[in-house]
A and B are shown apart, each in its own frame.
Chain A
Amino acid sequence: MEVRVSFYGSLSNHAGGRTRTVRVEGNPPTVADLRRAVARQFPEVAPHLEHTAVGMGTELFPDEAVLRTDQDISLLPPVSGG
Chain B
Amino acid sequence: MTDRIQDGALSIDDLLRETSEVDAGALVIFGGTIRAIDEGRDVAALDYDVHRAMAEKATRRIEEEITEREGVLACRIVHRVGYVPAGEDSVYVVVRARHRPEAFEAAKDGIDRVKREVPIWKEEIHPDGSRRPSSCSHGTPLVAEGSEEPSEACSGGASPT
A residues adjacent to B (C-beta < 8 A): 6, 8-10, 12-13, 48, 51-55, 57-62, 65, 74, 76-82
A8 to chain B, nearest CB (A): 6
**Cβ of B87 to closest chain A Cβ, rounded Å:** 16
Q: From residue B132, how far is it (CB to closest CB) to chain A in Å? A: 10
- Interface range, B side: 35 or more
B147 at the interface (CB under 8 A from A): yes
State A51–B136 Cα separation when bound (angstroms): 8
Give the top 10 A-B pairs by smallest Cβ distance, nearest first: A78-B139, A81-B120, A9-B121, A80-B134, A53-B142, A60-B144, A10-B133, A82-B115, A51-B141, A80-B139
The residue from A51, A52, A55, A61 contacting B51, defined by CB atoms under 8 A apart: A55
Q: Is B63 positioned at the interface, with any CB of A under 8 Å from its CB?
A: no
